Amino acid sequence: MEVFDTIPQEIAALIPETQLKTARANLKKFSVAIASLKTKLDACPGIGKTRDLKDTPALFHFVYGGTDIYICEYDRKNQMFGYKVTKGNVERSKWGLIKLSDILSIQSVQIDFSWSVQSIEAVLYKAYPYDFKIPPSLTYV
């Protein structure tokens, strides 16, 4: 496991300010989370690169006030693409482009440091099985 003496700028850019302050003050404790974010960022495709996938990997997960934002693409500047479920209301959920700066401007937003990469389709099916089809990535024994 990589131990950080500082949080790389490209990783710090993904972390909401309050979480970033805590992580910087406790780098040793947050090294696993920072390393995980770095691995996910390194694997994150650019905008438009997941278009033809049957299962779209959710690499980052942001949460606030019962709202979930799952990010699958990022241009490494400010533009992200993903799926948003607003306060658990699947009728108001949608795919779309969103600016990282807009996400980080939400006062109570947090990045899920313990998020495990999985497909957005699997996440939605598990949370709302009556509203979404079983995705190809899920198989039951």
Tokens coding 2: 């990589």
**Spatial separation of the C-alpha atoms in residues 88 and 50, rounded to whole Å:** 24
101: confidence class by pLDDT, cuts 50, 70, 90: very high
**Spatial separation of the C-alpha atoms in residues 71 and 69, rounded to whole Å:** 6
At 54-71, the pLDDT tens digits run 889 999 999 999 999 999
CB 49 within 8 A of CB 35: no
* Across 24-32, average pLDDT: 91
Handedness of CA 30, 35, 37, 38 (dihedral sign): positive
pLDDT score recorded for residue 105: 97
| Mean of the per-residue pLDDT values of the chain | 91
**Spatial separation of the C-alpha atoms in residues 97 and 109, rounded to whole Å:** 17
Contacts of 8 (CB under 8 A, 6+ apart): 34, 38
Whether pLDDT at 45 is above 80: yes
